[in-house]
Structure 1
Amino acid sequence: MFGEYLLPFLMVVVLILGIFTGYPVAFLLGGIGILFAIIGDIPMPFIGIVGSRIFGGVIENWLYIAIPLFVFMGLMLEKSGVARRLLLTLQRLFGRIHGGLAISVALLGIVMAASTGIVGASVVMLGLLGMPIMLKQGYKPEMATGIVAASGTLGILIPPSIMLVLMGSILNVSVGALFKAALVPGLMLGVLYIGYLLLVGKFKPEWMPLPDPDSLDHDPTPLPIALLRDLVGPVILIVAVLGSIMMGIATPTEAAAIGAAGAMVLAFIGGNFNYKNLRDVTYDTSKSTAMILFIVVGAACFSAIFKRLGGDYMILELVDSTGLGPYGLLILMMVMIFLLGFFLEWIEISYVILPLMLPVITMMDFGMGLSQEAFLVWFAILVAINLQTSFLTPPFGYALFYLKGITDGEIGITTIYRSVIPFVLLQLSALILCMAFPAIVLWLPGMNP
């Protein structure tokens, strides 16, 4: 077996070693694919076919237009000032209980996750808004940084999520179904965060002291009216984007366009729609989109050559040799994805690992009587919850470095590492619940629009 699959095995080894060199992954994927096509004596016309597949399957894919639109929506919403006003109002609501400010940050993270889906923007925004207030109020640094990092990463799971858009393309399942399936687990994870904060506030109140009444926002507007005022914009945007997809009124791409336009309207209402912000948001959107699509192109080349060399059959034989049942294989895959998340980004795992796992997944039978699409939706959400931890797990968790960057050296990286441990455990608890009870994931997609 080893001799028969030597080249695809070496492709994986070279890829892993190459990633640790820090070389751009997009170039690495495409370069390894071309290199092993030459080593494997693959006919040149096949490489031409790979190029055609890339243009036909990636560049011309209508679904991928949603990526820059969702990125633009999230970045523009960050500039709108909506988040700052909402945090101040939520602080008024929960300011009289231990951990109230942290709960406000968690709720803001949920609202912004359902409005943006951009992890980097959410973590930085929550950190800049909430961290100084929490530290000034006397919060333990581990609590302040942990809740900011964890709440900021909800955007990768709660729709509209760019990761779910890409997973829909990789697994060839409906993005609308993935959005529906991710909503309940995402909200459940937010509830777990808030429950944890309430417990810490009760048993360790000194970690999250009550605020000085003079530090609370003294907006003369009555609290119910202030909540309504500050929530109406994000709620309308959420309903316009997610509601139109879930009701079957709009495709994800069309809904993303609605969201981008709505974010500009909110920025205009907030007095923050100007040339500088529009230029910055457009520039950052272009960079993020180019990075994502470049990796997609490289991964398409790598995957096509890998399969041509028999890599998919190698994976199937390796799986058969384990002797594990369906749940054993599923647990093995989840453990592998979790460990890879310590070193790789979610997009690399999605485009390199998922295509390798797909042949195995499609042949697994859990005896649940699900259609193949429903099963793939369930599996995709399990992977999405798992990949959310990759933003928090050291040494390369991106949320950790975002936080380190905005604390100006006031909080050490080891403190930030310790702060995310409880929240990673909560994420793994949510993953286990969704594995044990698939209805958590499949209930909403099973309802008629």
Structure 2
Amino acid sequence: MALPLDLLMFAALIAGILLGYPVSFSIAGVATLFAGLGWALGVFDISLLGALGQRVFGLLSNDVLIAIPLFVFMGVILEKSRIAEELLETMGRLFGNIRGGLGVSVVLVGALLAASTGIVGATVVAMGMIALPTMLRNGYSPKLASGIVCTSGTLGQIIPPSTLLIILSDVMSNAYQQAQFAQGKFTIETISVGQIFAAALVPGLVLVGIYILYLLIRAWLLPNDAPAMSEEVSKPSLSEISRAILPPVILILAVLGAILGGVATPSEAASVGAIGVVLMAGIRKGASPVLILAGGISLILLAVLSGLFPVRLQRSDIGAFEISMAGLYILLTLTGALAIALSLRQIFKNDILKPALTSTMTVTAMIFATILTASVFSLVFVGLGGEDRIAEILQSMPGGATGALIFCMLIIFVLGFFLDFVEITVILLPLIAPALILMGHDPMWLAILIAINLQTSFLTPPFGFSLFYLRGAAPKEVTTGQIYLGVVPFIGLQILGVLAIWLFSDIATWLPGLLY
């Protein structure tokens, strides 16, 4: 009987990560080790590794993934320029006088920040430093307060734009294409990032509603867990609310509106968001609001007018109208460039730009290193027969397609205790998703179910990233045990969200069907 090297390979990867080795090195090291072992035993064709160069080039030239560093940059700038802090403070004052109101404000701010940037770490750290002490000071249960902050921060993974959804859309699109080839179809359909974003938007808002409903019911049943604010704080004025909420809302409309409306690709929309957040931070840190607003309006006009009236000066038949429009475009470009330069100068002077760029490069390098090494892992795993073994396991599951999906969801949930969402997405999903699609599951509905399941991996001990982020930002009086216990009810709410989308698939498929 041949050794099940494919299954041993997966077990060795989990063991390597649990031992504390860097994830990307663990993935590449295990893949190299088992490729050599399989070749020595005569069960692996070493020439398969010749495809690595093509895989690496395909990853580095993937237009979809260009959006990741831009969205990361947006999140870091929002956090470091204290725009997120002002939003939290204002929302706390707005809802704090009702039971559970502070918790509701944290959930709403988490949703707004998620729709602005999609970065979990920045959101959890910001709310852990600002909202958590406020909730504790006003008598909130430390466990409940910790659970609220951790869970609200993870909304950045399901509410678009999100790095998880960008990576997931690429993986699911490839799986969908593989499934169609396996069915003998050669005129294939693909899945775009915009479709996945549209599919995730309503489920994300449903999760926000579930969290808020739970908080209000718990505050009513256990008033000592989430009392109204005891501090005397003034209600924010309409201008204060507008100043705090309008910038992120405008950013959301610019980025998501451009993607869902088909005006821009995700990478183009992400670049619009990155410029927008730089201009917002510039105003926040003392640059002239008039000049920055003029520059922002100029850039918007430039985008709209150049689309409606494109000018090509190299043509021989241009007239006075084309020449005057070209002059206007040059003026708008210079005004926008001046606003960007002033904002960059201001955030550089306030020591925001350099740390933001460093954080962006660190997070982006981590994500791309994991995706690259996962490509090596999956190539070796498939070469050892792992893909066929997984297809056999899924086909033999009792309950047919539903049984196979339940099994896969349970595997993803359990792996979430030990692995990061990037590792699960780029290692496991390419192996199971084609088989699940071939069994008849809708790929977009499937993607959203998996996305919420992966979002839960941020909350599940012992390696939930949100737990680590909060542990680093929380006051010393909040123990690690309280943080771990605090997320347990919210893990249950995540499972409830998965069940809701499972039973009512239109929650995930209605909006992409309408828009696309």
Q: TM-score range by the shorter chain?
A: over 0.9
Q: Say which of 201, 205, 208 aligns to 1:190.
A: 208
Confirm or deny: 8 A CA contact 2:48 2:383 kept in the other structure. no
Count of aligned pairs: 434
Confirm or deny: 8 A CA contact 2:74 2:117 kept in the other structure. yes
Any residues of structure 2 matched to 1:429-448 within 5 Å, and which? Answer: 429-448=496-515
Any residues of structure 2 matched to 1:235-314 within 5 Å, and which? Answer: 235-271=249-285, 273-275=346-348, 276-314=351-389
1:52 aligned residue: 54
Any residues of structure 2 matched to 1:413-432 within 5 Å, and which? Answer: 413-432=480-499
- Structure 1 residue matching 2:513: 3-state secondary structure: coil
Deviations 1:371-397 (CA, angstroms, capped at 9, x unpaired): xxxx11111111110111111111111
1:132 aligned residue: 133
For 2:243, the aligned partner's letter is: R
Range with greater deviation from structure 2 (61-70 or 20-29): 20-29
1:352 aligned residue: 427
Please state if 1:324 is matched with 2:399.
yes
Cα shift at 1:328:
1.2
Confirm or deny: 8 A CA contact 1:116 1:155 kept in the other structure. yes
C-alpha distance in structure 1 between counterparts of 2:46 and 2:416, whole Å: 35
Q: Could you say if the C-alpha distance between residues 320 and 261 of structure 1 is closer, same or farther in structure 2, counting changes exceeding 3 Å?
A: same
Q: Could you say if the C-alpha distance between residues 201 and 30 of structure 1 is closer, same or farther in structure 2, counting changes exceeding 3 Å?
A: same
Cα shift at 1:445:
0.4
Range with greater deviation from structure 2 (58-67 or 10-19): 10-19
Q: Say which of 212, 220, 231 aligns to 1:202.
A: 220
C-alpha distance in structure 1 between counterparts of 2:92 and 2:32, whole Å: 55
1:81 aligned residue: 82
For 2:507, the aligned partner's letter is: I
Q: Say which of 456, 461, 482 aligns to 1:389.
A: 456
For 1:123, the aligned partner's letter is: V
Cα shift at 1:218:
6.2
Cα shift at 1:242:
0.4
Confirm or deny: 8 A CA contact 1:341 1:387 kept in the other structure. yes
- Structure 1 residue matching 2:512: 3-state secondary structure: coil
Deviations 1:114-139 (CA, angstroms, capped at 9, x unpaired): 00101010001111110111111111
C-alpha distance in structure 2 between counterparts of 1:241 and 1:6, whole Å: 47
Cα shift at 1:213:
4.8
C-alpha distance in structure 2 between counterparts of 1:241 and 1:125, whole Å: 22
C-alpha distance in structure 1 between counterparts of 2:54 and 2:490, whole Å: 44
Where structure 2 has 5 or more consecutive residues not aligned to the other structure, the ranges are: 174-190, 287-345
2:412 aligned residue: 337
Confirm or deny: 8 A CA contact 1:176 1:245 kept in the other structure. yes
Cα shift at 1:109:
0.6
Confirm or deny: 8 A CA contact 1:98 1:209 kept in the other structure. yes
1:372 aligned residue: none
- Structure 1 residue matching 2:511: 3-state secondary structure: coil
Deviations 1:3-39 (CA, angstroms, capped at 9, x unpaired): 2x72322222222222222212212222222222222
Give the share of equivalent positions with the same residue, in percent.
46
Deviations 1:407-432 (CA, angstroms, capped at 9, x unpaired): 24211111111111111111110001
1:38 aligned residue: 36
C-alpha distance in structure 1 between counterparts of 2:126 and 2:484, whole Å: 20
For 1:312, the aligned partner's letter is: E
- Structure 1 residue matching 2:255: 3-state secondary structure: helix
Cα shift at 1:228:
2.2
C-alpha distance in structure 2 between counterparts of 1:389 and 1:49, whole Å: 34
Range with greater deviation from structure 2 (32-41 or 176-185): 32-41
2:195 aligned residue: 177
2:293 aligned residue: none
C-alpha distance in structure 1 between counterparts of 2:475 and 2:420, whole Å: 24
For 1:441, the aligned partner's letter is: A
Confirm or deny: 8 A CA contact 2:45 2:383 kept in the other structure. no
Please state if 1:234 is matched with 2:248.
yes
Confirm or deny: 8 A CA contact 1:88 1:217 kept in the other structure. no
For 1:38, the aligned partner's letter is: G
Cα shift at 1:44:
5.0
C-alpha distance in structure 2 between counterparts of 1:20 and 1:92, whole Å: 43
Q: Could you say if the C-alpha distance between residues 315 and 43 of structure 1 is closer, same or farther in structure 2, counting changes exceeding 3 Å?
A: closer
Confirm or deny: 8 A CA contact 2:161 2:197 kept in the other structure. yes
C-alpha distance in structure 2 between counterparts of 1:208 and 1:122, whole Å: 21
2:99 aligned residue: 98
2:436 aligned residue: 361
For 1:425, the aligned partner's letter is: G
Confirm or deny: 8 A CA contact 1:137 1:212 kept in the other structure. yes
C-alpha distance in structure 2 between counterparts of 1:179 and 1:385, whole Å: 13
Moved over 6 A (4+): none
Confirm or deny: 8 A CA contact 2:14 2:418 kept in the other structure. no
Confirm or deny: 8 A CA contact 1:389 1:424 kept in the other structure. yes
RMSD of aligned Cα (Å): 1.6
Range with greater deviation from structure 2 (302-311 or 238-247): 302-311
Range with greater deviation from structure 2 (260-269 or 45-54): 45-54
1:28 aligned residue: 26
2:292 aligned residue: none
TM-score normalised according to structure 2 size: 0.81
C-alpha distance in structure 2 between counterparts of 1:357 and 1:44, whole Å: 24
C-alpha distance in structure 2 between counterparts of 1:298 and 1:27, whole Å: 8
Deviations 1:340-384 (CA, angstroms, capped at 9, x unpaired): 111111111111110121232122125xxxxxxxx1111111111
Range with greater deviation from structure 2 (146-155 or 409-418): 409-418
1:370 aligned residue: none
2:121 aligned residue: 120
